[in-house]
């Protein structure tokens, strides 16, 4: 019934939305709605990324405040001061170098993700074996003792524990009796 939404569709929408009049209207609307709390504004504006959009949003709001003659809120003024201390990101350079936003870095083909999961699964047993050998455990496991070895160990255990009771009760009986 509906067309499947692909990553390309989302990227196209984001490219069209960023810098549009609709985005500017949304930034100003949420600025008013949240009384200048820019963390909330950045959370509510579609396709926003605090690392890349903070300077641009500060400019949009400053222009809007100048046009309306309003004074900036205390929250916005403090946030803007912090933002202006940082260097503004150059989007063209960061995307060209592959240093886009965290969202852009994590976007990937699902087949790449499946291949990564499968490769890690196949390396799992060897990783466990490496840890076991590092800490002195034989990765193939200790072989069980033969019947003769087991009988000899059981006899040694019986001989050692034959005269000992709970907290030396056998020794007390020997002294008393």
- Does the residue 83 lie in any domain? yes
* Number of separate domains in the chain: 3
Shared-domain flag, residues 155 and 84: no
Contacts of 17 (CB under 8 A, 6+ apart): 23, 46, 47
Are 117 and 32 in a shared domain? no
In this structure, the answer to whether residues 51 and 71 fall within a common structural domain is yes
Residue 126 within a domain: yes
Is 2 a domain residue? no
Of 78, 106, 134, which marks where a domain is finished? 106
The pTM for the full model equals 0.51
Whether residue 112 sits in one domain with residue 159: no
Mean pLDDT, the chain, rounded, equals 79
pLDDT in tens, 89-106: 775 544 433 444 445 445
Residue 137 sits in which domain range?
108-143
Continuous H helices in 69-176: 74-85, 91-96, 102-106, 110-122, 124-134, 147-161, 169-176
Q: What is the pLDDT of residue 129?
A: 74
- 90 and 49 both lie in a single domain: yes
- Check pLDDT > 80 for residue 73: yes
pLDDT exceeds cutoff 60 at 66: yes
Q: What is the pLDDT of residues 119-160, one digit of tens each?
A: 766 666 677 777 777 777 655 556 677 899 989 999 998 888
What's the Cα-to-Cα distance from 155 to each of 73, 89, 147, 164, 167, rounded to whole Å?
A: 85, 77, 12, 15, 22
Q: How far apart are CA 97 and CA 106, in angstroms?
A: 15
Task: List, for residues 13-44, the tens digit of each pLDDT value.
Answer: 999 999 999 999 999 999 999 999 999 999 99
Q: Report which secondary-structure segment, H or E, holds 111.
A: helix 110-122
pLDDT for the residue numbered 108: 59
């Amino acid at each position: 019934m509906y067309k499947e939404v692909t990553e390309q569709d989302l990227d196209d929408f984001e490219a069209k939305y960023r810098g549009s009049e609709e985005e500017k209207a949304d930034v100003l609307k949420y600025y008013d709605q949240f009384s200048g709390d820019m963390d909330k504004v950045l959370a509510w504006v579609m396709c926003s990324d605090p690392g890349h959009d903070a300077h641009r949003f500060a400019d949009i709001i400053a222009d809007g405040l100048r046009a309306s003659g309003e004074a900036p809120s205390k929250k916005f003024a403090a946030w803007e001061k912090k933002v202006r201390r940082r260097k503004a990101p150059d989007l063209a350079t960061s995307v060209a170098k592959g240093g886009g936003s965290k969202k852009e870095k994590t976007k990937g083909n699902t087949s790449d993700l499946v291949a990564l999961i499968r490769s890690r699964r196949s390396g799992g047993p060897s990783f466990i074996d490496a840890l076991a050998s590092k800490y002195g455990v034989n990765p193939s496991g200790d072989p069980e003792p033969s019947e003769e070895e087991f009988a000899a160990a059981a006899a040694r255990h019986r001989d050692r524990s034959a005269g000992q009771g709970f907290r030396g009760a056998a020794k007390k009986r020997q002294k008393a009796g």
